[in-house]
Amino acid sequence: MAQNIVEKILTSHLKEGEFVKGQEIGIRIDQTLTQDATGTMAYLQFEAMGLKEIKTDLSVSYVDHNTVQVGFENADDHRYLRTVAARYGVVFSRPGNGICHQVHLERFGKPGTTLLGSDSHTPTGGGIGQVAIGAGGLDVAVAMGGGLFYTACPKVYLVHLTGELKPWVTAKDVVLKMLEILTTKGNVGVMLEYGGPGVKTLSVPQRATIANMGAEMGVTCSVFPSDSVTKKFMKAQDREADWKELKADEGAHYDRVIELDLCDLEPLAAAPHSPGNIKKIADLAGTVVDQVCIGSCTNSSYRDMMTVAAILKGHTVMPGVTLGIAPGSRQVLQMLARNGALADMIGAGARILESACGFCIGNHFSPKSGGVSLRTSNRNFEARSGTADAQVYLVSPEVAALAAITGKFTDPRKSHLKYPEIHEPHEFLADDTMFIKPTAALKKTEVFRGPNIGEPPKNDRMPEALNGEVMIHVGDKITTDHIMPAGARLKYRSNVPKYAQFVFENLDKTFPDRCLKSKSHNIIVAGESYGQGSSREHAAMCPMYLGVKAVIAKSFERIHAANLINFGIAPLTFKNPADYAGLQKGDKLTCAVWHDAFLNGRPVVIRNERTGADIECVCNLSERQRGILAAGGLLNHTTGK
């Protein structure tokens, strides 16, 4: 039967379940990646499961998120990660080597393989033809140990590209257009496949930009074919041997086809405070800008940076604007340094930032209060930048660089500048000296743990009956940044009791304390798309630590729902969404047959003791997931506790 690319990769990795839409399937994972903010817990859990060595073809541990190093915590985490990688056979990418997704694309991504990463933007690898999926650290730890990754057999949408991008219109505009079409919700269980004659006009890094922001649509991954463009990129990375062709069979089936003519696109922006709030640059032109940040895993390839350098060359950043540039990898930074482009950026007054996540995660470079910040990254959730009332817009590197020298949103098509025609290099600087590759001798390395590095928290088995209280009642689109802020709090990732003090920090500071003092099972009530955004399992692990047993929501995002189950928290959806409004903070909720209902896959009916109303909830779980919940989480489930 004719297969599409997604089906080809998934069926060749299928180890459990039937390939029937919506059903749970278990697939073999070829490669994993972790980053430091999620990685410490992933490796602590790997150790807690008693695993002895990795079983994947390749596992890489990157350090790119927590590189600010105020206090000892980050440096201790880096040391832990380096030693644990050596011990168990993981490649370690040293701090300074770049952002995980960019570096992985350059040095390791392989068409036709599966990649699981403890970061929601792992799908960036789809640009090179990988089924690359973001997941919680615990799922990645299991995959590193040779365990399967479970996901719903997806619906596959084809994005049929025709035409070619016009000057000043970019890959970022393609994906912003896709966000306008698909929005940021309602796409759980979907994998996107790009195809059509327009694909060959896009380079691998451009494809990666598009695949990267599929995460913002909530799709599981986005995959491009592997063609002669891919081959050229891999050859230029000195990795031609890793290339193989990948294309859909003639007549392959798709659940939906989205037509996109690249010629029709124009420069776009995602306006505050959602990546789905799409506006035309033409309509924003003239708006004064305070800050410009260029980089992140979305837009920091060699070509992006060279284009920025060409725009900046000979100009000076406007006095009212601060410009920060973070090239995505050491490879890119070194190439810019050698060819003089870095000098053009510095000459224009750019502040060169580390090749790391930095500004994107609100680790530093927060805008002024109420400041308008133009960023080439992928998320503009409220307060993520570190400034609660900042107005963050997501744009292409071209629009960002122009704003830096004009001081305002400028439609590039109307600017007097000539469009810089930058081409992909024939040869990238393939310098792997900042990777530590595993050796037999390194297996004897003693694993270092600093005082901020704790044990993964434990959970009890699921209670027989629910005796709960609604501790918080939140609205739609609550992101993992709302649940578990990163930025300045990021350094407590390895110390769950400490990090848990900041759960819902920007919504209700009293939440952690009230939870810890409560004598009942704590419950969160939420609207649509609860848990949008990152893969950080701390958004489930810390609530678990605070005694949360259930989240009742109108709907959930995929990675977060999986994380809740992994940490023994029931993700329940309202059968009748109108019941959401009937609940309020402080309501006592009970269910006498809680455990029994889950274990036997029956509807969960919860009594609101204040109103006497019965609320019917849905929890469509596989037998495997029910077992995990009953055990109080995946760690208990795997270790037989």
Catalytic residue numbers, as ranges: 64-65, 119, 379, 534, 536
For ligand SF4 (CB under 6 A), the number of binding residues is: 11
Angstrom distance (rounded) from CA 50 to CA 33: 20
The set of residues, in sequence order, having a beta carbon less than 8 Å from that of 621 and lying 6+ positions away, is 565, 598, 601, 629
User: Any bridge partners for residue 222, and if so which?
Assistant: 192
Q: Counting contacts by CB under 6 A, is residue 99 touching ligand SF4?
A: yes
Orientation of helix 36-48 relative to helix 538-545, angle to 10°: 60
Which two structure tokens, joined as six digits, stand for 340?
């003089």
Q: Counting contacts by CB under 6 A, is residue 356 touching ligand MIC?
A: no
**Of residues 378 and 529, the one with the C-beta less far from ligand SF4:** 378
Binding test (CB under 6 A) with ligand SF4, winner from 4, 183, 206, 296? 296
**Of residues 7 and 106, the one with the C-beta less far from ligand SF4:** 106
Binding test (CB under 6 A) with ligand MIC, winner from 4, 32, 34, 38? 38
Angstrom distance (rounded) from CA 59 to CA 142: 12
Q: Counting contacts by CB under 6 A, is residue 375 touching ligand MIC?
A: no
Strand order in the sheet with 31-35: 131-134, 114-117, 31-35, 58-62, 91-93, 435-436
Stated length of the chain: 641
Q: Which stretch binds ligand MIC (CB under 6 A): 150-158, 163-171, 530-538, 622-630?
A: 530-538
CB of 519 to ligand MIC, least distance (A): 31
Decide which of ligand SF4, ligand MIC, none touches 535; Cβ closer than 5 to 8 Å per partner kind.
Answer: ligand MIC
Angstrom distance (rounded) from CA 203 to CA 233: 8
Helices (H), 89-203: 100-107, 137-144, 171-182
Contact between 373 and 392 (Cβ < 8 Å): yes
CB of 222 to ligand SF4, least distance (A): 15
Decide which of ligand SF4, ligand MIC, none touches 377; Cβ closer than 5 to 8 Å per partner kind.
Answer: ligand SF4
Q: Which of residues 103-142 bind ligand MIC (CB under 6 A)?
A: 119-121
Q: Counting contacts by CB under 6 A, is residue 322 touching ligand SF4?
A: no
Beta pairing class for 190-195 and 155-162: parallel
Tell the residue number behind the tokens 């600093």, with chain if given: 450
CB of 105 to ligand MIC, least distance (A): 15
Decide which of ligand SF4, ligand MIC, none touches 591; Cβ closer than 5 to 8 Å per partner kind.
Answer: none
Q: Counting contacts by CB under 6 A, is residue 604 touching ligand SF4?
A: no
Q: Which of residues 454-493 bind ligand MIC (CB under 6 A)?
A: 486
User: Any bridge partners for residue 553, and if so which?
Assistant: 526, 573
Q: Which of residues 54-73 bind ligand SF4 (CB under 6 A)?
A: 65
Q: Counting contacts by CB under 6 A, is residue 330 touching ligand MIC?
A: no
User: Any bridge partners for residue 467, and if so which?
Assistant: 590
**Of residues 297 and 597, the one with the C-beta less far from ligand SF4:** 297
Orientation of helix 228-236 relative to helix 204-212, angle to 10°: 100
**Of residues 4 and 396, the one with the C-beta less far from ligand SF4:** 396
Q: Counting contacts by CB under 6 A, is residue 357 touching ligand SF4?
A: yes
**Of residues 85 and 336, the one with the C-beta less far from ligand MIC:** 85
3-state helix/strand/coil string of 28-50: CCCEEEEEHHHHHHHHHHHHHCC
- Strand (E) or helix (H) holding 369: none
**Of residues 170 and 625, the one with the C-beta less far from ligand SF4:** 170
CB of 484 to ligand MIC, least distance (A): 8
Which two structure tokens, joined as six digits, stand for 634?
């995946």
SS3 214: helix
Beta strands in 180-231 (DSSP E): 190-195, 221-223
3-state helix/strand/coil string of 543-571: HHHCCEEEEEECCECHHHHHHHHHCCCEE
Angstrom distance (rounded) from CA 266 to CA 3: 33
**Of residues 25 and 333, the one with the C-beta less far from ligand SF4:** 333
Binding test (CB under 6 A) with ligand SF4, winner from 203, 206, 377, 459? 377
**Of residues 326 and 500, the one with the C-beta less far from ligand SF4:** 326
Q: Which of residues 265-304 bind ligand MIC (CB under 6 A)?
A: none
Q: Which of residues 113-142 bind ligand SF4 (CB under 6 A)?
A: 119, 121
Which two structure tokens, joined as six digits, stand for 269?
């922006």
Q: Counting contacts by CB under 6 A, is residue 555 touching ligand SF4?
A: no
Tell the residue number behind the tokens 């009956």, with chain if given: 465
Q: Counting contacts by CB under 6 A, is residue 297 touching ligand SF4?
A: yes
Q: Counting contacts by CB under 6 A, is residue 360 touching ligand SF4?
A: yes
Site residues (vs ligand MIC, CB under 6 A)? 37-38, 65, 119-121, 361, 486, 533-536
Site residues (vs ligand SF4, CB under 6 A)? 65, 99, 119, 121, 296-297, 357, 360-361, 377-378
